[in-house]
Structure 1
Amino acid sequence: MRYIAENTTIPVPQICNVETHAGDIKSILMNYINDRTLEDAWSDMTPSQKISVAQELHGFIVQLRDLNHRSDPTRKGQKLPETHIWDSMMSPGCDVQTNAHSFTSLGSPFHDTHHQLPLIHRKDKLVFTHGDLAPRNILVSQEGHVTAVLDWEYAGWYPEWCEAVKAYEFCNDLPGWTAYLSVILPPSHATEYMTIALATRFVR
């Protein structure tokens, strides 16, 4: 979060103290932000407030993608939290094309799904990814502005489509959220994003 605070204008909680044990982070003390999560506030927000939040989040993602991974002193490889076929597909530098057999082995309706995946190239650009950009991890004010993006535990450098895969995976948990993802997320690979997210819901 310190890296994000120092290199972007994305609002994140201020880190007050970090406790470590044997070199690993044990706990992080952050300042308290007295706002509601987007998940809790969503039903009370007006359409104009929702589109405003979506545009703010889009701007944050643009900033993340403008970061240079070579200048990130904290970069390290770790998997996003995934299960089943995602154990191999969602790791940094993953090669989706070599995992097409994972889809064909699932049977109908996924036997032909892998044909939609070649556009997710093995040489996709690595971009800084939050990894869990769900409404529960976004705080908003009463006026409908983003005041903090929380839970950067899984943040790191991943292929550019990974952020959207996670976002679409969470989309059905909040009525109407899907309609705003097209504003929040970059437009490229939209079909592939939704294909993978749909498959995830059936595989689990």
Structure 2
Amino acid sequence: MDTPQPNDLIDTQDVIILHEMSGCIVKKYHDNTVIKKGRRINLDEQSALDLAANLHLPVPRVYEARSDPSDGEASIRMDFIPGENLESVWPSMTAEVKDEICQQLREILTTMRSVPWTNGLIGSCSGETAQDCRQYTDYRGGPFLDEASFNSFYFDLVKTIPDPIRDALSQQLRSDHRIVFSHGDLSQHNILVKDGQITGLLDWEYAGWYPEYWDYIKFFERPCKNRDWKNYARRIFPQSYDTELAYHQAILRWQRP
């Protein structure tokens, strides 16, 4: 197949809608590329995908990312990656295959966490705002020069929280974690597999440079149909963050949704 060029006109014949939700639609084209388009598309995803590709992780190659001021939408054109959604095939997998998938994820995370933090900013890979996927919406802030200032963004609580609870929770926040390359949304529906191998890790719009515990605590926050999935956390993550997970679960009760 010839390598698609960013400015090539795309034939709209044989278009397949792969995913559609409010503010985002993903279409596959006959040249084996996909286009994500909508108001919810975050163009910072391109920088994260470029970094992940340089690390030889299973991610799609990006050909073009642009915004359209006329309608307020943005789009990213990238390779199509074959595979089945892990959430749908997980129940039919043997215990051995599940363990192998978890080991592959662990290797991906180990590779990501080994990358030096060079831009000195907590936020997206392009040096733009941090993005936190919460219960009902996405929160943005920064970028931040250090973890202490990031904590003020993360520790965003409702005004009605009692002062003793606010004080108790704030005392648990550290500001000395390593800052590492993080995905931000390690959900089963973002993982593609084929023949027992991970073929694609998708949806990097929440990725960037974050405290080392970030992917771990967010893993438990993301919805999943398979109840046993989160019990595999210690096999997936190179390091557990029990203390950070505990106070994050407490913060969730009072955090702005």
Summarize the Cα distance change of 1:103–1:177 in structure 2 as closer, same or farther, 3 Å threshold.
farther
Distance in 1, Cα, partners of 2:89 & 2:53: 25
Other-structure match for 1:137: 190
Task: Verify the 8 A CA contact 2:129 2:142 in the aligned structure 1.
Answer: no
Whether 1:127 aligns to 2:127 is no
Q: How is 1:82-93 mapped onto 2 (pairs within 5 angstroms)?
A: 82=134, 93=147
Other-structure match for 1:81: 133
**Which structure has the larger Rg?**
2
Distance in 2, Cα, partners of 1:138 & 1:39: 8
Other-structure match for 2:241: 189
Whether 1:36 aligns to 2:84 is yes
Task: Verify the 8 A CA contact 2:190 2:202 in the aligned structure 1.
Answer: yes
Q: Deviations over 1:2-43 (max 9, x none)?
A: 12111x121001223333446x98211122222111111111
Bigger proportion of residues as helix: 1
Residue type of the alignment partner of 1:179:
N
Whether 1:57 aligns to 2:105 is yes
Residue type of the alignment partner of 1:148:
G
Distance in 2, Cα, partners of 1:115 & 1:202: 10
Under a length normalisation based on structure 1, what TM-score does the superposition of the two structures give? 0.77
Summarize the Cα distance change of 1:103–1:19 in structure 2 as closer, same or farther, 3 Å threshold.
closer
Q: Deviations over 1:128-171 (max 9, x none)?
A: 11111111101011x22111100011111111111111101126
Task: Verify the 8 A CA contact 2:169 2:247 in the aligned structure 1.
Answer: no
Equivalenced residues, count: 196
Whether 1:177 aligns to 2:233 is no
Ranked by relative contact order (alpha carbons within 8 Å, sequence separation 6 or more), the top structure is 1
Other-structure match for 1:160: 212
Task: Verify the 8 A CA contact 1:116 1:192 in the aligned structure 2.
Answer: no
Whether 1:9 aligns to 2:65 is no
Summarize the Cα distance change of 1:43–1:194 in structure 2 as closer, same or farther, 3 Å threshold.
farther
Match of 1:146 among 175, 188, 198: 198
Task: Verify the 8 A CA contact 1:54 1:183 in the aligned structure 2.
Answer: yes
Whether 1:18 aligns to 2:65 is yes
Under a length normalisation based on structure 2, what TM-score does the superposition of the two structures give? 0.63
Report how far residue 122 of structure 1 moved.
Answer: 1.2
Bigger proportion of residues as strand: 2
Give unmatched runs, 5+ long, in structure 1: none
Residue type of the alignment partner of 1:178:
K
Task: Verify the 8 A CA contact 1:113 1:195 in the aligned structure 2.
Answer: no
Summarize the Cα distance change of 1:91–1:79 in structure 2 as closer, same or farther, 3 Å threshold.
farther
Summarize the Cα distance change of 1:137–1:14 in structure 2 as closer, same or farther, 3 Å threshold.
same
Other-structure match for 1:67: 115
